[in-house]
Amino acid sequence: MTPVYIAKATQVAARSLDGEMMIMSAKDSTLFTLNEVGTLIWQSADGTTPLNEIVEQKICAEFDIGPSEALTDAQGFVNDLADHGILVVSSSPITAAMPAQGAAS
Partner 1 sequence: MSLMQELGQRALDCGVPLSVQLDVTYRCNERCVHCYLDHNDHGEMTTAEIRDLLDQLADAGVFFLTLSGGEVFMRMDFFDILEYARSLMFCVKVKTNAFMIREKEALRLRDLEVQDVQVSIYSHRPEVHDAITLLPGSLNRSVAGIRLLRSHGVKVIIANVLMMQNLGDHTSVKALAAELGAGYTIDPTITPMMDGDRNVLRLGLGVPQLQSVFHNSDLVGDVDSFCAPPIGASGDVLKELPCSAGHTACYISPYGDLFPCVQFPLPSGNVRRQKFMDIWRYSDQLNQVRSITLQDLPVCSTCSHVGSCSRCPGLAYLEGNMRGPSMQDCEKSFARTGIPSANMHLKKNTPPFRGLVQINALLPAEQKPSCSVLDNVM
Chain residues that interact with partner 1, rule: CB under 8 A: 8, 10-18, 22, 24, 26, 29, 31, 33, 104-105
Sign of CA dihedral 93, 60, 8, 4: positive
Between 71 and 85, CB nearer to partner 1: 85
Between 24 and 94, CB nearer to partner 1: 24
Q: Which residues contact residue 51 at a Cβ distance below 8 angstroms, ignoring those fewer than 6 apart? A: 3, 4, 5, 6, 41, 71, 74, 75, 78
Sign of CA dihedral 21, 15, 26, 103: negative
Between 26 and 60, CB nearer to partner 1: 26
In the complex, the smallest distance separating the C-beta of residue 81 from partner 1, rounded to whole angstroms, is 15
In the complex, the smallest distance separating the C-beta of residue 69 from partner 1, rounded to whole angstroms, is 28
